[in-house]
Amino acid sequence: MLILTCPNCGIAADETELHADGQAHITRHGAGASDDDLETYLFMRNNPKGVHFERWRHVYGCGKWFHAARCTMTLEVFGTYPAQTLEPPKELVAKIKKKRPDWEGFVK
Q: Within the chain, what is the greatest distance between any pair of CA atoms?
A: 42
Q: Which of 22, 42, 44, 63 binds another protein (CB under 8 A)?
A: 63
Segment interacting with another protein (CB under 8 A) among 11-19, 20-28, 39-47, 96-104 = 11-19
Regarding 74 and contact with another protein (CB under 8 A), the answer is: no
Regarding 22 and contact with another protein (CB under 8 A), the answer is: no
Segment interacting with another protein (CB under 8 A) among 3-11, 33-41, 69-77, 94-102 = 3-11
Regarding 48 and contact with another protein (CB under 8 A), the answer is: no
**Degrees (nearest 5) of the Cα angle 2, 66, 106?**
85
The DSSP code sequence of 30-59 is: -TT--HHHHHHHHH-----SSEEEEEEE-T
Regarding 94 and contact with another protein (CB under 8 A), the answer is: no
Of 14, 6, 98, the C-alpha closest to 55 is 6
